[in-house]
Amino acid sequence: MNRSMLGVKPSLLCVLLLAATAVPAGAANLVKTYSYFAIGGSTLDDIEAQLSKRGPEVKSTGTRHPGATQMAFTTRISYAKTSNSCRIADAVVTVKVKVILPEWRRPRKADADVRLFWDTLAADIRRHEERHVEIAKNHGRELEEDLKAAYPQKNCDAAKAKAAEITAAVLARHDRAQLQFDRVESVNFESRILRLLRYRIERIENGQLPPA
């Protein structure tokens, strides 16, 4: 296997910095679907151009990315009222996520090094987006727990206001966690891909993976 692929082009590295679209937040119950967009090309330049042209547009950046995760969160809250108080009796948070991933329609003439790079990159894109889903689900569980632990209020209007306050605080933490994850991933992208490429090459050479 030609190891020259480890000298990945800086321009390609720039376009492949991953991001996720963050709509509100939450998720103890998770509904997850996948969507794929097709790209072609037989060289790294071709793939770069296709990802820039066809990748999902992320509203927070206004640019297209190799992968994205769209999230929509809903919260169902029930209240228990007494003569002098009202409390949150139960809370159920559901997150609906749509993971958008690229699917390379690999031409026969594609070089083995390009195939190797794509296999490595595609696996990393999927891992990245699945981590966004995990972050959302964890914050959804946190939101449920915080709502259920809320103190009783003097009336149900106050209890609803408290629920809104708790929700806003957890969602803000969720958004910060998602942004921080993207920042770390962007900084480490090049070293991570090179490490994954070396690992995949070693596994191929040891017969643990089929050739690209």
Q: At what angle do helices 189-205 and 112-148 cross, to 10 degrees?
A: 120
CA-closest candidate to residue 67, choices 104, 31, 109, 112: 104
Q: What is the pLDDT of residue 60?
A: 66
- Per-residue pLDDT tens over the stretch 164-204: 999 999 999 999 999 999 888 888 777 777 777 676 666 66
- In whole angstroms, what is the distance from residue 191 CA to residue 202 CA? 17
Q: What is the pLDDT of residue 1?
A: 35
What percent of the chain shows pLDDT beyond 70?
78
Q: Is 182 helix (H, G, I), strand (E, B) or coil?
A: helix
Q: What is the pLDDT of residue 20?
A: 36
Q: What is the pLDDT of residue 201?
A: 67
Q: Residue 132's Cα: distance from chain center in Å? A: 3
pTM for the model stands at: 0.76
CA-closest candidate to residue 123, choices 33, 212, 42, 45: 212
- Per-residue pLDDT tens over the stretch 143-156: 999 999 999 999 99
180 within 8 A of 168, measured Cβ to Cβ: no
- In whole angstroms, what is the distance from residue 186 CA to residue 196 CA? 15
Average pLDDT value over all residues in the chain: 80
- In whole angstroms, what is the distance from residue 209 CA to residue 212 CA? 9
- In whole angstroms, what is the distance from residue 104 CA to residue 115 CA? 10
Q: Where is average pLDDT lowest: 7-11, 41-45, 69-73, 80-84?
A: 7-11
Distances (CA, A) of 129 to 20, 71, 156: 7, 11, 39
